[in-house]
């Protein structure tokens, strides 16, 4: 019986079936492979992509594939052609068609050296894990059942939820060292366990990850972080030694337990917080990294262990590490801002004025919801009374924000006039004086709430008398 999610892909009227006819008429075979087959057999919808993707494999070489799909596709991407991959887009669906291949890294190379094959079984043997070494032959004759090709017992591993490599793990990870990181990505996204041989191979081959580009590592880490089983995956990254090669700040959080003060393990806490926050990339990066400044700021005194200003040190470390991993400027800014601000709400217990609430909203900006989520998730104490007190404070703070927002434009904390008005009223040319005057007006807006244009001009005149 064909699984429900596979049936639409295999029917004679389906787009993949029609595409297979085009390949057959040119003398080539076409197969559904890899993640497409795996996810369909698991009745799983992918959440790590914004497009609908189908993975296909063929014995046609890339130039032949390009010619076959040229008129059929709405658009064709050729960026991966030298590695054997042509992406044909039709009806919004990305058909990623790859020539049967063997992919092997040179010892010191960051880019794979690809050789092509004519055999689907050989192609499947070079794939990362048995659960992805599955193929279904497309375009069977009418009344024929689709042929499932499973030379490495991938179906059995899907059933037992085990991540195992088709060939020896040393060969698989030697072919592409990024597969060691992908192993834990699947732990996170699928909830599978790592096979013992694969685990041993990773521990002995972690240094091989050094030849993989930062961009490829970043992409796998990003997918790993938004998975449902992120805690188990992060624990595996640290225990295997992989994390030390691209996120050394994380294993450094496993601070030694002080025999007198017995402060908690910051690594275990950070992983717990990461698991609790909403599964967004920025939120989970911030949760994982929010305490990375603690090892540098730890002070053991008679009164206990302190980490004063760890959020300041941590924000700086975040910027450096995420830049090295090639995250975007916006992502780096958002994550570092969350790390920098995550201790701010704890001062709310001392009482905040409306001015302080406005400043908090202004500083958090578009990350306000993520910041409050991080602060809530940062509570991993077993002390229910303390946890409840922090939850109540955040609830109260959010209510204060909602109340202020109902009375004023809290999300646009701008003075009633802009820089052009300032220049015209004071007779100024563009320059630092205009910026200083606008900062004065903005601070007045935050401290005192909305005010009129008349008040703004009065403030400007007093500032001019004192400063110009």
- The pLDDT score that the predictor gives to residue 24 is 92
Interhelix angle 214-225/281-289, rounded to 10 degrees, is: 100
- The pLDDT score that the predictor gives to residue 105 is 66
Q: Nearest-CA neighbor of 286 among 223, 348, 213, 377?
A: 377
Percent pLDDT > 70 in the chain is 92
For CATH 1.10.110.30, the residue range(s) in the chain are 161-246
Fold of 7-159: Beta Polymerase; domain 2 (3.30.460)
Q: Nearest-CA neighbor of 434 among 399, 464, 396?
A: 464
| Helix H or strand E segment including 6 | none
Q: Nearest-CA neighbor of 125 among 178, 157, 164, 177?
A: 164
Backbone phi and psi for residue 142, each to the nearest 5 degrees, phi listed first: -60, 130
Contact 24, 160 (CB under 8 A): no
- The pLDDT score that the predictor gives to residue 142 is 57
- The pLDDT score that the predictor gives to residue 305 is 81
Is 96 in a helix, a strand, or coil? strand
Backbone phi and psi for residue 54, each to the nearest 5 degrees, phi listed first: -125, 130
Please measure the distance between the N-terminal and C-terminal CA atoms of the chain and give it in whole angstroms: 84
Distance CA 427, CA 18 (A): 72
- The pLDDT score that the predictor gives to residue 104 is 66
Distance CA 354, CA 348 (A): 12
Distance CA 17, CA 12 (A): 6
Q: pTM for the complete prediction?
A: 0.88
Distance CA 22, CA 26 (A): 7
Contact 90, 72 (CB under 8 A): yes
- The pLDDT score that the predictor gives to residue 49 is 52
- What would the pLDDT profile of 299-347 be if each residue is shown by its tens digit? 888 877 888 899 999 999 999 999 999 999 999 999 999 999 999 998 8
- The pLDDT score that the predictor gives to residue 108 is 66
> Which DSSP string corresponds to 284-320?
HHHHHHTTTTHHHH-EEETTEEE-TTHHHHHHHHHHH
- The pLDDT score that the predictor gives to residue 258 is 47
The domain 161-246 is classified under which CATH number: 3.10.310.10, 1.10.10.10, 1.25.40.10, 1.10.110.30? Answer: 1.10.110.30
Q: Nearest-CA neighbor of 125 among 142, 103, 140?
A: 103
Q: Nearest-CA neighbor of 65 among 35, 94, 22, 34?
A: 22
- The pLDDT score that the predictor gives to residue 307 is 87
For CATH 3.30.460.10, the residue range(s) in the chain are 7-159
- The pLDDT score that the predictor gives to residue 144 is 63
- The pLDDT score that the predictor gives to residue 260 is 43
Tens-digit pLDDT profile for the chain (468 aa)?
567 777 778 888 888 888 999 999 999 999 999 988 999 888 887 655 545 689 999 999 999 999 999 999 999 999 889 889 999 999 889 999 999 987 666 666 666 677 899 999 999 999 999 999 999 999 756 556 678 999 999 999 999 999 999 999 999 999 899 999 999 999 999 999 999 999 999 999 999 999 999 999 999 999 999 999 999 999 999 999 999 999 999 999 987 554 444 556 899 999 999 999 999 999 999 999 999 999 999 888 887 788 889 999 999 999 999 999 999 999 999 999 999 999 999 888 778 999 999 999 999 999 999 999 999 999 887 788 888 888 898 899 999 999 999 988 887 788 898 999 999 998 889 999 999 999 899 888 888 888 899 999 899 989 988 776
């Amino acid at each position: 019986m064909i699984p429900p999610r596979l049936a639409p892909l295999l029917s004679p009227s389906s787009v993949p079936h029609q595409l297979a006819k085009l390949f057959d008429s040119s003398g080539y075979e076409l197969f559904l492979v890899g993640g497409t087959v795996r996810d369909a057999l698991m009745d799983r919808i992918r959440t790590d992509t914004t497009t609908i993707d189908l993975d296909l494999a063929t014995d046609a070489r890339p130039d032949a594939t390009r010619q076959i799909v040229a008129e059929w596709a709405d658009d064709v991407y050729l960026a991966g052609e030298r590695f054997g991959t042509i992406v044909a887009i039709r009806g919004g669906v990305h058909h990623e068609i790859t020539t049967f291949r063997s992919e092997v890294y040179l010892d010191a190379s960051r880019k794979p050296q690809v050789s092509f094959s004519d055999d689907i079984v050989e192609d499947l043997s070079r794939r990362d894990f048995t659960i992805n070494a599955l193929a279904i032959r497309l375009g069977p004759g009418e009344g024929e059942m689709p042929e499932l090709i499973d030379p490495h017992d991938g179906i059995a591993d899907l059933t037992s939820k085990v991540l195992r490599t088709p060939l020896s793990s040393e060969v698989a990870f030697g072919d592409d060292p990024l597969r060691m990181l992908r192993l834990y990505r699947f732990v996170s996204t699928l909830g599978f366990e790592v096979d013992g041989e694969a685990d041993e191979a990773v521990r002995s081959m972690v240094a091989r990850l050094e030849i993989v580009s930062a961009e490829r590592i970043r992409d796998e880490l990003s997918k790993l972080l938004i998975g449902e089983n992120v805690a188990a995956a992060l624990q595996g990254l640290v225990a295997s030694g992989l994390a030390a090669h691209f996120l050394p700040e994380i294993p450094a959080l496993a601070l030694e337990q002080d025999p007198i003060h017995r402060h908690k393990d910051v690594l275990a806490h950070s992983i717990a917080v990461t698991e609790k926050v909403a599964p967004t990339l920025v939120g989970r990066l911030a949760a994982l990294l929010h305490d990375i400044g603690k090892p540098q700021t730890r002070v053991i005194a008679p009164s206990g262990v302190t980490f004063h200003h760890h959020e300041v040190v941590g924000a700086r470390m975040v910027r450096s590490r995420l830049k090295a991993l090639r995250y975007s400027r916006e992502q780096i800014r958002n994550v570092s801002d969350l790390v920098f601000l995550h201790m701010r709400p704890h001062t709310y217990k001392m009482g905040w004025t409306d001015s302080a609430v406005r400043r908090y909203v202004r500083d958090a900006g578009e990350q306000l919801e993520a910041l409050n989520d991080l602060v809530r998730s940062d509570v991993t104490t077993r002390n229910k009374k303390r946890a409840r007190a922090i939850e109540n404070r955040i609830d109260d703070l959010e209510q204060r924000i909602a109340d202020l927002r109902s009375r004023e434009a809290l999300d646009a904390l701008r003075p009633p006039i802009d820089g052009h008005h300032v220049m015209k009223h004071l007779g100024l040319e563009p320059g630092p004086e205009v910026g200083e005057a606008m900062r004065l007006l903005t601070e007045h807006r935050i401290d005192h709430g909305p005010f009129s244009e008349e008040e703004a001009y009065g403030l400007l005149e007093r500032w001019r008398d004192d400063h110009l």
